[in-house]
Amino acid sequence: MKIQGLIAATFSTFNDDGSLNLSLVPSLINNLVEQGVKGVFICGTNGEGPNLTSEERMATVEAFVKAANKRCLVLVHVGHSSIAESRRLAAHAEKAGADAISAVSAFYFKPASAANMVDCMAQIAAAAPSLPFYYYHIPAITGVAVNPLDFLELAENRIPNLAGIKYTAATLHEYQACLHYGNGKYDILFGYDELLLPALAVGAKGAIGSTYTFAAPLYLKILELFEKGDIAGAREMQYQAVKMIQCLGWYSPIPTQKAIMKLLGTDLGPCRLPLTTLDVLQQEKIARYLDEIGFAAVLQSVTN
């Protein structure tokens, strides 16, 4: 399986009391399908997967698969600090009708080498043998900086359903090397929204990102302009994305993005501790900044 286009790494959907609110999933999926994304990546970093119980993650998978109804891909993150629990989540995703699974490294007791990582991922992938499996490389979060090229070389003969890597790192030289491994055998999905254009320049065809959940038209425009050879136009659109992304670091990025979605008309509810929802003053600061950079107008200008 090779994915081209954008996969939106969706956010959690909670009630005010912190319980799951899966009634929001159908409208979220409908909006993303209408905007032109190729799929969703659920229960990952942005979906607060580690903040959910396994039962909540399973319920989330079932809700998204039902709402998508084959209109877009549903990629399920099944990573967990327990490999046994990851295997349970993987098997459930397969049974529920997901299109692919992905897993981060264990992040408490960490794999010590690429070979050790392959041992772990092979067990997880084997629990859902019919589904494409993507190793989720995100060293800034897991603290595990295994060379992804070494991972591919060792995993090639160990993980029959290995589809590729969800590559969430800024090391574009290593990303490009992974793209070329085995004459382009694997699907290496890029995961840094602020570097989408540079990733396209070195060969990216598919990308997974959090801001695609609320700004997909902007990034689709970058793809369109790049394919047309309008690099100056693509560069300007990428800069518009970068300006928006700059405010995500003022507070915690995930609550900030949920605040932006609320400003744009989609309230997905609060976050769970240790993440904290932005207070009123913080939300107002974000709103003022987005107004100053004309973010809503930019989105409107690129929406078909």
Residues annotated within the binding site are 208
Burial 73-103 (b: 16+ CB within 10 A, else e): bbbbbbbbeebeebbbbbbbbbebbbbbbbb
Both tokens of 110, joined, read 């960490």
Active-site residue (options: 38, 134, 135, 136): 136
Q: Which of 208, 202, 198, 195 is nearest to 167 (CA)?
A: 208
Contact 75, 134 (CB under 8 A): yes
| Cβ neighbours for 37, distance < 8 A, ≥ 6 positions apart | 5, 6, 7, 8, 72, 212, 216
From the candidates 38, 134, 135, 166, which is the catalytic residue? 166
Known catalytic membership, residue 285: no
Active site residue 166: yes
- Residue 50's CB: how many other CB atoms inside 10 A? 17
Beta-carbon contacts of residue 75 (< 8 Å; ≥ 6 apart)? 7, 39, 40, 41, 42, 98, 99, 100, 101, 102, 134, 208
Backbone angles phi, psi at 73, to 5 degrees: -75, 150
- Binding residues for pyruvate, by number, are 208
Give the span between the Cα atoms of 225 and 218, in whole angstroms: 11
Which residue's structure tokens are 């090229």?
Answer: 149
Query: Which of the residues are catalytic?
Result: 136, 166
